[in-house]
Amino acid sequence: MQQVYSAEKIFTGEEWLYHHSIITEDKKIVAVVPSASIENLSTLKYTTLIPALIDLQIYGAHGKLFAMYPEADALFKLYDYCSMGGALHFCVTVATNNYEVFYQCIDAVRDYWKQGGKGCLGLHIEGPWINTVKRGAHIASFIHSPSVEEVKALLEYGKGVIRMITLAPEVCSEEVVALIRSYDILISAGHSNATYAQAVEAFNTGIPTVTHLYNAMSPLQHREPGLVGAVFNHPTVMASIIPDGYHVDFAAVQIAKKIMQERLFVITDAVTETTTGPYPHQLAGDKYESNGILSGSALTMLKAVKNLVAYCDITLEEALRMCSLYPAKIAGLPLGRIEQGFTASFVALDDNNEVLKVID
C-alpha cells in the first residue's frame, strides 16, 4: 500500500525541494514529486522532512548501558533515545570487555530483532584488540593482541550481528584483519598508537575508516604525523568524530572538516549513567566520565547537527549529511537520501528544527 508524505520543504541529502511529496511503498521510496501533481491520494503533511540520522557508535540509554544489560529491553530504550534525536538507525556499541559479555550482547541483538525491534543495525565491538597506550577509559586487563582462532570463534558466533569492529592495526596481524574483512564487517582503526607508516599500510590493505578522530590515537606531530596525519592525508579513508566540544574542540572539528570534507562523519559516542561494572559512567555536565576519565558524550545526533552549525561554521545541509549520508556511505546502507529506491526512513522537524515525528 502506498503512503504519501508531503512537506513544505524536503532535504533529499543533496538539496532542498519545496512543496514536494514522498511516495512510499513496502518501506521503499518509489517517487519524490511536486505535491501539486498528486491527485486523490491521502497525504500526511509536515513542515520539514530530512533523511533519518544514523549513529554508528552509541553504548546505551535511559540507565541501561548495553554491556551491563545485554538484553532486548536495553535496545528498546536505546531506540527510544536515538529516535528522540532523529537517529532511526544505530550500531549498539560495546567497549573492551570479556568474551562472555560479547556473546551475551550478540544474543540480545538477535532477541531484539526477533521481537520486532527497530533501528539496530547490529553490534559495534570497540576493542579489546587495541593498544593499551591509547586505551582511554577502556580497561587495560582485557586488552590484548588476538589470535586467529579466537577471532574466528567470535565472528562465527556473531555472524549476521557483528557489523563493525574497532581495533588498533599495529596490534593485529594481517591474517586477523583479512579474516574480519572476509565476514563483511566494517573495520575501523582506533585506540591506536600506530605510526604514520603503519596507519597508511593499514589503510592501503583494507581498513576504510577511523574511530573518533583525535581521541585515543597517535596525534599529528611534525616529525611523526601519526594516525591523525595518515587519515588527513589519505584520499579515501573516512573518520568519525564526536562534536560535543569536550571530546574534540570545535576548532579542531573545523580543521578536520576543511581537510577531509566528505570523509568526515559524526557519531555520538553517547553512554548512560551507571554505577556498576567495569565502566561506571557518571554524568559530569554535558559529558560522562568513567573512573575519572572522559568516557562518553551526552549527545543526540540532532544535537550534534546543531553543534556543527552553531560552533563549527558548517552549513545545516552539510551537517545533516555528516549525520546521515556519510555514515550510510561507510556502512554501505541504502539510507541518507530521500530519493527513489532508497529506504523510506526520515524525520519530520518542527519550525525550531526539533523532532516532531519519526517515519520508519
Instruction: List pLDDT tens digits, range 330-342.
Output: 999 999 999 999 9
pLDDT above 80 for 43: no
Mean pLDDT throughout 190-208? 97
pLDDT above 90 for 358: yes
pLDDT at 171: 98
The CATH H-level (homologous superfamily) assignment of domain 2-50+339-359 is Urease, subunit C, domain 1 (2.30.40.10)
The phi-psi region of residue 336 (left if phi > 0; otherwise alpha if psi is between -120 and 50; otherwise beta) is left
Fold match between domain 2-50+339-359 and domain 53-331: no
pLDDT at 292: 80
Residue numbers annotated as active site:
269
pLDDT above 80 for 42: no
Q: Which three cell numbers stand for residue 92?
A: 549498539
Task: Considering the domain delimited by 53-331, tell me its CATH architecture.
Answer: Alpha-Beta Barrel (3.20)
pLDDT above 80 for 249: yes
34-38, 42-46, 197-201, range with the lowest pLDDT: 42-46
The band of 279, judged by pLDDT with boundaries at 50, 70 and 90, is confident
Give the count of beta carbons closer than 10 Å to the beta carbon of residue 148. Answer: 12
DSSP codes joined into one string, 174-223: HHHHHHHHHTT-EEEE-SB---HHHHHHHHHTT--EESSTTTTB----SS
Domain residues of the chain, as ranges? 2-50+339-359, 53-331
Mutual angle of helices 174-182 and 148-157, in 10-degree steps? 20
CB hemisphere CA count around 14 (13 angstroms): 3
pLDDT at 40: 66
Mean pLDDT throughout 273-301? 87
- Give the contacts of 88 (CB within 8 A, at least 6 positions apart): 52, 53, 54, 82, 118, 119, 345, 347, 358, 360
Long-range contacts of 42-45, Cβ-Cβ distance < 8 Å, separation of 24 or more: 42/4, 43/4, 43/5, 43/6, 44/3, 44/4, 44/5, 44/6, 45/6, 45/7
Question: What's the whole-model pTM score?
Answer: 0.97
pLDDT in tens, 67-86: 999 999 999 999 999 999 99
Terminal C-alpha separation, the chain:
15
Mean pLDDT throughout 38-43? 73
pLDDT at 41: 65
pLDDT at 294: 87
Task: Name the residue among 173, 170, 98 with its Cα closest to residue 128.
Answer: 98
pLDDT in tens, 114-157: 999 999 999 999 999 999 999 988 999 999 999 999 999 999 99
